[in-house]
Every structure is written in structure tokens, then in C-alpha cells.
Structure 1
Amino acid sequence: MDPDAEVDFDMSPFLVRYKSGRVHRLMGTSRVAAGEDATTGVTSKDVAIDAGTGLAARLYIPTDALGVRGGHEPEKLPLLVYFHGGAFVVQSAFSGAHAPFLNALVSAARVVAVSVDYRLAPEHPVPAAYDDAWAALRWAVESCGAEVSSGQEPWLAAHGDAARVFVAGDSAGANIAHNVTLRAGGVGGGLPGSARIEGMVLLHPYFRGTELVPSESAAAAWSLEKAEQLWGFICAGRYGIDHPFINPLVMPAPEWAALGCRRALVTVAEHDTLRDRGRRYVEALRGSAWAGEEAVLYETQGEDHVYFIHKSGSSGDKAAEEMAAVAAFIQRGR
């Protein structure tokens, strides 16, 4: 049989890998152009961060913040570094799914955002995504407050506030946000200068483990065997499903002290099989040695995993309510 047609691993509905090594992505490959979004009043552009690895990002800013009138100093905004979801294997910072969501979030929270286009598995297994995320976060923080003429990214230099740094993500992106925040507060971590992560936002985080929680045990499609296979594919078998990368609940209470943020927000949805892991994450955080000030759990009834990505343009509904909760969390920053 032709190895370019013989399936090696079927990760539907995300992708299929063939024995030749060819990867065929079944979703998340669409791309929308950057520019001004008249509906939200947000402008975006694409930037390269590291040509060697291909690390790139899409930047977002409220359009009215770009104009400096009457000799006033440029408006300083919280810096939000965002990691998209997609099971570590699909989607991008430029996808048609995430661009509308980021436009809406930047408008609601009034931030300057860096949506990171990290490398995907299986071509680049975990921890490549974590390494890219960390590099992008450090790049973004270093760019904030720099002289605009210094060669740093001008939007961040003029408008980014390194004293108000937030990291966020949905699903696998929330997993990445957690691991980056853990690195920021751990031994050998730390952000440039005096910068610290003010807040971490985990939207329907992708965590698993061998000990099933109620929302998982009720879903045959998310059996332990399948979860182990998927995670093994994502990390090329380097880490088990109880490694802290994918199962932070195995961390002893003292180790949570390394989580380098002052506040945390975790959101879950009633019909999401990952729901109870998000709940237990908040419980573990509250009962740990973490020195943060606030760990908030936000729950949505009657919805499934990352429903808000597909409903980000609607108003007066659950997606808009969740967006408002995230924006309020960011705006409470010092």
C-alpha cells in the first residue's frame, strides 16, 4: 500500500497522519487577513518574532489608541498574551475561528494583545508549544516601555504596560497559559525587569489524568485510553498523562507556589467533558501554597467546550456574558 495513503494515526476531527509522515489537517487551516475591524473598533497586524523557529504573532489594539492627539502621551494599556486552542495540533493565531474572538476581547477589555502562533504537533511535539509561548511572552514584555525608535515592536513600545501583564488561552491554549505562568514563577524563570504576570485566564483548560473525574467518566468518547493516545501523539510519547504538563493536579500543594501570577480566572461549561478538571484546578490552587490573591471560577450552564469561540460576535447571550467576565477580571488589575 502507498505509505502516503496508509493511515498511521487518526486524530479526527483534527487531523490524520499517514505512514509517509504526511499530516493532513481536517480543520483550523483557514486564515483571515489582519487589519481594522469596524465592528469592534480594533486594528490588528502580523509580526515575526523569531525567524529561526518561525515564531510569529498577530497583534491587536483598539484603533482609537493608535492616535495621539493634542500632544498627549500614548495611552498605556494592559498587555494580554493569548494562546489559541486546537488540541496542540490545529488552528493558528491567524485562523478564522480566533481572529473574531480576539477582536471582541481586545475591544471589551481594552488591552493590547499578542496572539501567539506557536508551533504545532505532531511536527513539533510538546514542549515546543511551551517554548514558543515562553519566548513570545518574554519578547512582548521586553518590547513594552522601550523607546519606539529602539527597534522594538512600536505598538507594544508605545502602548504596552509591563506592570499589567495577563496571559490567557482557550483549551490547549489555556494549558499553555498555565505552563507558561508556572515557568514565570519557577526556578530559572522570571520575566524581564520587574514585570510580573498580574492575571492568568484559563478558558475551558485542556487537562487530563489517569484518575477520571465525573465529567470524564460519563463520556465514552473521552475514555482514558483515547486520552492517553492523543496526549502521547501530541508529545511524541515523551510524557505520561500524569505528567504536570497535562495533569497539574498531581503537583503537591507546595509546588503551586511557583505559579507566577497574582490572580487567576478559570472558566468551565456544563456540558464540557473537561469541566470538572477546571473546577478541581481552582480548588487545588486555593488550597495550595500559591501566594496569589484571587482564584475565580466562572461556570456557564447549557454550553459545551469553547462555545464562545464560535459565538464571539453575538450579544446579550452567554458568550457575551463570559466575555464581560473576562474583561472585568482584566480591568480589575492594578
Structure 2
Amino acid sequence: MASPTPELLLDFPNFVRLFKDGTIERLGGTEIVPPSTDPITGVQSKDAVIDQETGVNARLYIPKTTNPNHKKLPLLIYFHGGGFVIETAFSPVYHNHINSLANEAQVVVVSVNFRRAPEHFLPIAYDDSWVAIMWIAAHSKGGGPEVWLNNYVDFERVFFSGDSAGANIAHNMAIRVGVEKPHGFKLVGITLIHAYFTGKQPIGSECEDVVGKATFDKLWLFVCPTSSGSDDPWINPFMNPNFSKLGCDKVLVCVAEKDSLRNRGWYYKEELEKSGWGGVVEVMQDEEEGHLFHLYKPTCDKAVAMLKRLAAFMN
């Protein structure tokens, strides 16, 4: 006799299903690829363990032109998307995107593999990301455990970036840099690609897209069940009293016209300019495109243009 189908507790289409017996079924972002030397760009990658106890790790990338006799390169610390639930730093879409970005921008990249909900609810992903940043900073004097960081990185030119939930992490890590002012590196700028932010009060097209807004709010409480709700400063940056202390001098916000999160990107720019922060923030909007289009259509003209804009931002 066949076993009874377990009772479904929560269902987020294209993301994850959670069953009453504790079973978790991820509906995407489960494929991984190994590190490599990319045959097209020549970018090399390898994996490194950051914290043995928690298992937090990362994938490191260096462009083809690096060698110990060349000048050191900017460093990009990247946080992948996936709603804090799916995808990893080792997913094909991220591996391919960062190979292209490391080559185009001629930067060293550390793509952080933080722990995900629902096995590890927020704020664990934020904690893991900060541990990774501090591990990277420990290489600034040239004596860290990872030779690529010792040899190739200019720690006076560090950038954070991420998409969707990863952009949320990049923002929150930049706030922490501004508040705590850690030693060992200078955060020059951050790029937020289709950032996952929300808020209790709907803005722009969120007023019409009631279902989409409700889904983002519900997902937030799923990944952070101890949260106070959609105005939690982790997910609504304007509720953070330290918003104006963002620890960098420039920000690039990327939005897509058909992405329901685009309103939050534009609002981020407006609020940051009014906050007294004092840096420069720009928005790049891609017309007729949806959420994370650049990952799934990397060779289209707009994705190529975005790649070049991201590279220019770091140089």
C-alpha cells in the first residue's frame, strides 16, 4: 500500500513547498556546477570554506589577466538571490553570470554561499554574510588563508552586489559597514539588482498588484517568522534609523519595467537622496523586462548593457 501523501503546509509557487511532516521541497535553484576555468573568458574559480562550524562557504573568481606582478584589482562581494530560500553560489545561473562579470569588470569576486530558510530562518543569512565579509577583510594585510585574496585584491576598492534577496543582503551589509566601520577594507559602492524590499504601505503599482504584494509580504514572514512584519528594517530599509549611514559613497540601483519590485528600487533612490547620506545614487531601468531577466537571457542586448554598466561602476 502506497504511503499517504504528506499534508501541504505552505506553498510558494516556483520557490518551495513545506509539508506538515517537516519535508521541504525546493522547486528551483537546486542544480549546482563545480568551479572551473571558464573556456570562454578564462576566468578561474575555486571554492573555499569560510566557517567550518556552520559550513558557510564561497566561490572565488579571478580574471584571466591576474598574476602577482600586476596591479591589484577591485573586489566584488556578491550575494545570490532566490528569496532566501532557493539557489546557491554554485547555481549555474550565478556561476555563469559571475564568470562574465569578473571578466568584463576585471575584478576578483567572492560569491557568498549563506545558509537558507526554512532550515535556517533569518537573520542567519545576514549573520553568515557578515562572517564572510569579516573573513575576507582578514586578508587585507596579506596573511589570510586564501592566497587569491592575499595576492590579487586591492582592499581600498571593495564593492557589494546582489540580486533580489541578495540585493537586500548587500544593502543591509552596507548599513552595517557604515555603523560599525570595520577595519581592513574600504567599501566604495554597492549595486542592487531588482532588490527584494517591501513595506506595509503599498507604493506605485503595488496598489493594483494586490496578489503580488501579498506574496512578497507572506514570503518575508516565512523566511523571518520572528519579524514584526513588512515594516521590519531588514525588508523595509526606510524604517532603519541608520539608513543614512550607508557605508559607501555610491550606489547603482537596477530595476526592470515589468518587475513588480521596481517601485521599491525607485523609492530607494528618492529616500536615500533625502536621508542626508551624501553619496551618489543612480538608477538603471530596463524597459519591457522582468525580474532577473539578465540571469536567464544573458546574451540579450539589455543584459549585455547591464553587464557593461556594472563593470563601469566598479572601475
Q: Distance in 1 between matches of 2:94 and 2:270?
A: 29
Residue 153 (structure 1) aligned with residue 146 (structure 2): yes
Q: Taking structure 2 as the reference length, what is the TM-score of the superposition?
A: 0.95
Deviations 1:2-61 (A, max 9, x none): 797111111221011111112111110100111100212211001100011110000001
Q: Distance in 2 between matches of 1:4 and 1:261?
A: 51
Give the structure 2 partner of residue 321 of structure 1.
305
Q: Report how far residue 124 of structure 1 moved.
A: 0.7
Taking only the aligned residue pairs, the percentage that are identical comes to 42
SS in 2 for 1:326: helix
SS in 2 for 1:114: strand
> Which portions of structure 1, spanning 4 or more consecutive aligned residues, are displaced by more than 3 angstroms?
none
SS in 2 for 1:223: helix
Deviations 1:81-138 (A, max 9, x none): 0000000000000001211000111111110000000000111111111111111111
Q: Report how far residue 74 of structure 1 moved.
A: 4.3
Q: Distance in 1 between matches of 2:110 and 2:81?
A: 15
SS in 1 for 2:314: helix
Deviations 1:274-324 (A, max 9, x none): 0010000011111112132x1111111110011001122x16x00000111
Deviations 1:190-234 (A, max 9, x none): 2223x221011101100001111123223243133x333211101
SS in 1 for 2:285: strand
Q: Distance in 2 between matches of 1:228 and 1:323?
A: 30
Q: Distance in 1 between matches of 2:4 and 2:153?
A: 49
Give the structure 2 partner of residue 172 of structure 1.
165
Give the structure 2 partner of residue 138 of structure 1.
134
Equivalent in 198, 201, 204 of residue 208 of structure 1: 198
- 5+ residue gaps, structure 1: none
> How many pairs are equivalent?
314
Give the structure 2 partner of residue 290 of structure 1.
277
Equivalent in 171, 179, 182 of residue 191 of structure 1: 182
Q: Distance in 2 between matches of 1:134 and 1:4?
A: 40
Equivalent in 227, 245, 252 of residue 265 of structure 1: 252
CA shift in 2, pair 1:4/1:127, >3 Å: farther
Give the structure 1 partner of residue 105 of structure 2.
109
- Contact preservation (8 Å) 2:41, 2:64: no
Q: Distance in 2 between matches of 1:198 and 1:221?
A: 37
Q: Distance in 2 between matches of 1:302 and 1:207?
A: 21
Query: What are the residue-to-residue correspondences of 1:5-16 with 2, within 5 Å?
Result: 5-16=6-17
- Contact preservation (8 Å) 1:174, 1:201: yes
Q: Distance in 1 between matches of 2:141 and 2:288?
A: 43
49-58 or 2-11: bigger deviation: 2-11
234-243 or 114-123: bigger deviation: 234-243
Q: Distance in 2 between matches of 1:182 and 1:213?
A: 23
Q: Distance in 2 between matches of 1:229 and 1:203?
A: 21
Query: What are the residue-to-residue correspondences of 1:276-315 with 2, within 5 Å?
Result: 276-292=263-279, 294-312=280-298, 314=299
Q: Report how far residue 238 of structure 1 moved.
A: 2.7
Read off the aligned partner of 2:150 and give its amino acid letter. Answer: A
Q: Report how far residue 258 of structure 1 moved.
A: 1.6
- 5+ residue gaps, structure 2: none
Q: Taking structure 1 as the reference length, what is the TM-score of the superposition?
A: 0.90
RMSD: 1.7
- Contact preservation (8 Å) 1:79, 1:111: yes
- Contact preservation (8 Å) 1:145, 1:161: no
Deviations 1:223-254 (A, max 9, x none): 33x333211101023331101100112345xx
SS in 1 for 2:50: strand
Read off the aligned partner of 2:259 and give its amino acid letter. Answer: D
